[in-house]
Amino acid sequence: MTLSTISDEAEALKEEANKFFKDGDYEKAIDAYTKAIEIRETAVYLANRSLAYLRTECFGYALDDASKAISLDSSYVKGYYRRASAHMALGQYKEALADYETVIRVAPSDKMAREKLTECRKIIRRKAFEKAIAVEDQPSPLESFDLSTITVESSYDGPHLEQDSNGKYFVTESFMLALMEHYKSQKVLHKKYAIIIMKDIFLFLRGLPSLVDIKVPEQSKFTVCGDIHGQFYDLMNIFKINGLPSKDNPYVSNITFRICFSSCSMVTLLIGDRFPWSVFSPCSGLSFSIQTSFIFPEVTMNPNT
């Protein structure tokens, strides 16, 4: 097969790929460009396939092809344009800027390239500004809170957390049951115990990955519970009908807390989530500013506020 025949065959495949591309069939276009490249690798074929990869959102492949095109022909401006587009798609804005600037130097009248260059510069400036004004996440007050500053008064008639031999507080099933009855009587959990529970939950949840796999043994069941919107007595009625959460009777619920008695529901459910992995909430809509005022100190101190 002569060089001319090889070139003609590769060119025919490129034209076929161009037609597929024009029709929006990018996968077939990629296949045809690949066949052409296997016969004769050129900057044009690689840049064309790079564009097809961009259309299918295969940005890494698009970047590789564009870089190969430039290495074969450093004067081929479309190679830089394709590589800039791939860098933009991958969030590599400084690299994209360098390639767009190369395009403008070679083709200063290219309106599209100038628009892309302007867009890229704006993104880089915005990213720099966001970085300049960014502040590090502040540590939670729970991490440094001194519990010794809070005393449980002798007049407090609610449930008490137990302590182990090292003085560490822990939740028991009897505490949970007593707390629910305490809440039913429109009484409140002492703020010291509320803070201890919230800190325990905070440290526990912070140590979990963003996605938690739940192993469900065969023949087991989950109770899917609708949003109670903080209605504590509705929550108690659900438990009365369906049974308390437990390892053998787990609940899954999307929960929001935005009303009075929300803190009662939240503390009850959070304890269930922590002890003993019996309540799973894939999305809890907690309004932080509202819940802060609910729990510390108004609603914890007075659920009728």
Give residue 285's pLDDT: 42
Tell me: do 166 and 23 sit in the same domain. Answer: no
Tell me: do 166 and 235 sit in the same domain. Answer: yes
Counting Cβ atoms within 10 Å, is residue 105 exposed (0-12), middle (13-18) or buried (19+)? exposed
What is the domain extent for residue 233? 141-301
Tell me: do 170 and 273 sit in the same domain. Answer: yes
Question: Closest Cα to residue 33, out of 45, 50, 20, 21?
Answer: 45
Tell me: do 124 and 169 sit in the same domain. Answer: no
Question: What is the bridge-based pairing of β-strands 169-170 and 162-163?
Answer: antiparallel
pLDDT, tens only, 258-302: 444 445 555 555 554 444 444 555 444 443 333 333 333 333 333
Give residue 273's pLDDT: 46
Would you give the end-to-end CA distance of the chain in angstroms?
90
Give residue 265's pLDDT: 53
pTM, two decimal places: 0.49
Give residue 268's pLDDT: 55
The domain spanning residue 114 has which CATH number? Answer: 1.25.40.10
Cα–Cα distance for residue pair 199/81, rounded to 1 Å: 53
Tell me: do 221 and 104 sit in the same domain. Answer: no
Q: How many domains does the chain contain in total?
A: 2
HEC secondary structure over 165-176: CCCCEECCHHHH
Helices (H), the chain: 3-22, 26-39, 43-55, 59-72, 77-89, 93-106, 111-133, 141-144, 173-184, 191-206, 232-242, 262-274, 288-293, 299-301
Give every residue of the chain whose pLDDT is below 50, as ranges.
Answer: 257-262, 272-278, 282-305
Tell me: do 162 and 266 sit in the same domain. Answer: yes
Tell me: do 269 and 145 sit in the same domain. Answer: yes
Give residue 241's pLDDT: 86
Give residue 141's pLDDT: 80
Question: What is the bridge-based pairing of β-strands 284-286 and 255-257?
Answer: parallel
